[in-house]
Amino acid sequence: YGAGKVASRIGIESEATTFRPDDDLFSQIEEQHDENPLHCVLIDEAQFLTRDQVFQLGEVTDKLNIPVLAYGLRTDFQGEPFEGSKYLLAWSDTLKEL
């Protein structure tokens, strides 16, 4: 559907922020929050987060008091956990499987 967008199959779309494995998510979110208060952070494809990024998202909830909702796969096709999923499952305060 395009980089920097979140889109539904029924045509609803919104701008999104993309990031790379070496990006500091806490700093990015804090900067955006200072400019315009954020009420929630949504992460799609969370299985591709790094261990450090999962920790940074924990800091977002603890220090900035912004809830983080992360969506992604738990394991790959061989049943092995993705790095991001492994740490999200280990460190999350609340889990809801869908």
First to last CA, the chain: 23
In the chain, which ranges are continuous DSSP H helix?
A: 25-35, 51-63, 83-91
- Catalytic choice (15, 45, 59, 80): 45
Q: Name residue 68's beta-bridge partners.
A: 41
35 catalytic? Reply is: no
Q: Which helix (H) or strand (E) holds 68?
A: strand 68-70
Q: Which residues are catalytic?
A: 45
